[in-house]
Amino acid sequence: MSIILPRPNLPKALDIPQLYLKQPTADVPAYKPIFIPPNDLEAPEEVQEEEKETTEQPEPPKLKIPVIDIEMPLPETAVVVTAVTTAVIAVTTTTVTQSLFEPIKKKVQKQLQSKVDAWKKKKKEKEISLTESKESEESSKKNK
């Protein structure tokens, strides 16, 4: 006695290609070595030192104050020009922006003040109505 079992009809397996991954590499920075000479390095005796051209720096201008007998150093022209330019720009900017923002500031202050006044008025009305209601309750209690 043998049992005949039906065999399933399965599709063929998918052909999946195998992936080959390259081994990762890193770019390591490389620097040229820097040669630092020793502190006691001296030129050989045969070598003569080159003569260097020296340019004398002019003495900075000074302002002599006669009464106190003090000499004050004067700043360079570039420093003075920079300081004056900065000061002029700052004053001009302040003046222009103040004239532009003054009307806006006034309008905003008026609007805020009107809202604050309205809020104060409502608060007073509430307080008055609360005191009136308390007084009417007290008078009704006294009448009973």
Tens-digit pLDDT profile for residues 97-144: 988 888 899 999 999 999 999 999 999 998 888 888 887 877 777 766
Output the pTM of the full model.
Answer: 0.35
In the chain, % of residues over pLDDT 90: 24
Euclidean distance between CA atoms 92 and 86, whole angstroms: 10
Residues 6+ apart with CB under 8 A from 63: 71, 72, 73, 74
Tens-digit pLDDT profile for residues 71-81: 888 888 888 99
